[in-house]
Chain A
């Protein structure tokens, strides 16, 4: 059980780092990297529960699906960032507020 706590602990740190990155970075790419950290913390949880929590292979499968999703999400998100750059000449997410009233 100790081992599971360790994994969860690491996962929590990773998650917090990700949230911190998403909340503080102005650079769009950095925000995406924060999102990746959050996703991977979740992956770590899945795998840990799979190993120690009796979920058998279900957790592994979920981990794989999340990786695939993350890849797809990264592709779409990077495309958005490139478009923002093309239109606004910056990737600072604070500048992308033209839809504000």
Chain B
């Protein structure tokens, strides 16, 4: 059975790559531009992933783990192996990627109908899926890093899909470069670990940490370095700037990127490396995550672009997951990754559906000025797009943390972990405040989005007649993922209570032991760390309190949103006026892009200018050109020497001498035998005379 898992993993990894190759080389010539090739390949991976998932459920072994690797590079003492690590986390992640990717493929057939680079788009989707699967399956840091970069490249290609637009081209560059900043830290972390442990494989690294081969400050730095990679990919503060801009890509790509592939990679990495993070490193992780959660949520409150709201909500939710890893409940982070993937992908599909329909309506009116993504142009779509509305509402309730929906379970697990962390370390009281503050804002701005888009009077009444529900290819994924945002899928088979997350995923604490569930937290490898069981028990004690607070803040958030946007109890403009600089800061995303530009990019550019001046004016003109002139002169001298001395004197001279000698000695060769004998006899006599002295 283990071998079949490896075979399935290989197929899951390489089928999307195959689709990519076919699309790039033959896509344009195939019927329907070959989208069926990609969809076929990705559907097979989905079927395989479901098969693996079902097998995993049937086996029900939380310790299940299988590894296979090959030596990829062998240079004597230095070898790099590439390999697969298949355990329950891998299988669940593979299913998420395959499911969201399949939905994205199907959704895109309609959303990108008639696009000029239709086949290439599907090819890139395949590449993206391939890279993400590579990260998920990697059993060592080196191959993870390779696929990590591949994810960067494919996100660059997809964000810049409409590269004729300057904004899209800039956004793709920004995403790639911002990620590079994090990747440098990732690379430094890998090298620190390799130099101490001598291996890239996770198991070796964990053993190395446990046996103290790397410890203390070095390990903290290595952990923070690795986490920097995650900060880049999962767009944590201060590297969050690329993600909102990445909305320039097609909406289905945003769904794929925000739910399953790119940003999930960072969280997945931190979940994988959790056992080697020292308490100090974990604090860094927790504060970065917590701050990002609150900070991004505060920006999302004032955004008017429907996709921007979702983008910042993603940043905020990722902050939650990172916060959970930092406070030790890393399986809760992974649980939130799973539930978040479903409802966030669905929200993006929903927004895609709305934008698609707005686009068509505006097209009918020959209006190319109005922004189809601005929520101030929407409103009252509820009856026109019922399927989109209802499934988006379900997902919104999930993200806001309303009981009965999936987000409530995972968010509750995270908040309980954070709360218990603060109970045991009262100096870190800020962390749960970040968490609950973000939860309040999330409930507020998500419902604000729903109310502005679907409720109230249409803000552009002339459009409302042309707003229609999207075709089946788009509503299908929406309905599917909306359904998956309900709690029941995560608590089956033995728990039907919406208040407890115990189910096939999460274990139950029973008599100081984990019972049931497939994802058990493992102990940290860092010596002297608190055990996973203790963390889980602490979190369990904080569970009820966290649950009541989170229900309360979600209710307050939703109520405020309803009061302001439906009841019109408070004027939005007056509120914005009252908030003053806070509103302006939030609306302008805390001027991050402007400040980065002013204090980071411009000085760098000026420095580059200076350096290029040095390079051109001094180095090139004097050193390089001078060197050229010197070489020219030297070659002339040596050329002269070569011709006059070597050629004329030495080479020709040797020939002349040989000629002369030959001429002189020609006469000796008489051809008379007796002459030769005479020479021989004379020679012998001469030798004998010499000898006799």
By a beta-carbon cutoff of 8 Å, the part of chain A in contact with chain B is 19, 22-24, 26, 31, 93-94, 96-97, 99-101
Contact = CB atoms under 8 A, between A and B. Distances in A.
Contacts of A93: 672-674
B678 A23 contact: yes
Ranked 4 nearest A-B pairs via Cβ:
A100-B671, A97-B671, A93-B673, A23-B677
Interface string B663-688: 00010011111100110010000000
Interface of B: 666, 669-674, 677-678, 681
A100 B681 CA distance: 21
Given A101-B666, A101-B669, A19 B674 contact: no
15 contacts: A22-B674, A22-B677, A23-B677, A23-B681, A24-B674, A26-B674, A93-B672, A93-B673, A94-B672, A94-B673, A94-B674, A96-B673, A99-B671, A100-B669, A101-B669
Q: Tell me which of A31, A94, A96, A99 has the highest count of chain B C-beta atoms within 10 A of its own C-beta.
A: A94
Contact of A19 (B666, B670, B673, B681): B681
A97 B672 contact: yes
Contacts, number: 27
Contacts of A97: 670-672
A24 B666 CA distance: 24
A31 B677 CA distance: 11
Contacts of A26: 674
Contacts of A100: 669-671
A19 B678 CA distance: 9
Contacts of A23: 674, 677-678, 681
A94 B677 CA distance: 13
Nearest to A94: B672
Nearest to A22: B677
B221 to A, nearest CB: 88
A93 B671 CA distance: 10
A101 to B, nearest CB: 6
Question: Does more than half of chain B's interface fall in helix, strand or loop, or is it mixed?
Answer: helix
Contacts of A99: 671
Contacts of B670: 97, 100
B678 to A, nearest CB: 6
A97 B670 CA distance: 8
A26 B672 CA distance: 10
Contacts of A94: 672-674
Given A22-B674, A97-B670, A101-B666, 18 more contacts: A19-B681, A22-B677, A23-B674, A23-B677, A23-B681, A26-B674, A31-B673, A93-B672, A93-B673, A93-B674, A94-B672, A94-B673, A94-B674, A96-B673, A97-B672, A100-B670, A100-B671, A101-B669
Nearest to A100: B671
A100 B677 CA distance: 16
B671 to A, nearest CB: 3
Contacts of B671: 97, 99-100
Which of B670, B671, B678 lies at the interface centre, i.e. has the most chain A CB atoms within 10 A of its CB? B671
Nearest to A28: B673
Contacts of B677: 19, 22-23
B689 to A, nearest CB: 17
A101 B668 CA distance: 11
A101 B670 CA distance: 9
A94 B672 CA distance: 5
A19 B681 CA distance: 8
A100 B666 CA distance: 10
Nearest to B672: A94
Contacts of B666: 101
B659 to A, nearest CB: 15
A96 B675 CA distance: 13
A62 to B, nearest CB: 21
A83 B567 CA distance: 134
Nearest to A20: B681
Contacts of A101: 666, 669
Contacts of A24: 674
Contacts of B669: 100-101
Centre residue among A23, A31, A99 by max chain B CB count within 10 A: A23
Considering residues B670, B672, B681, which has the most beta carbons from chain A within 10 angstroms of its beta carbon?
B672
A22 B677 CA distance: 8
A74 B439 CA distance: 120
A19 B674 CA distance: 10
B273 to A, nearest CB: 89
A25 to B, nearest CB: 8
A27 to B, nearest CB: 11
B677 to A, nearest CB: 5
B238 to A, nearest CB: 95
Nearest to B674: A23
A32 to B, nearest CB: 12
A96 B673 CA distance: 9
A12 to B, nearest CB: 13
Contacts of B673: 31, 93-94, 96
A96 B681 CA distance: 21
Contacts of A19: 677, 681
Which of A22, A26, A99, A101 is packed against the most chain B CB atoms within 10 Å?
Answer: A22
B75 to A, nearest CB: 64
A63 B127 CA distance: 92
B375 to A, nearest CB: 110
B668 to A, nearest CB: 11
A67 B677 CA distance: 23
Nearest to B670: A100
Contacts of A31: 673
A101 B671 CA distance: 9
Nearest to B678: A23
A31 B676 CA distance: 13
A23 B684 CA distance: 14
A72 B464 CA distance: 123
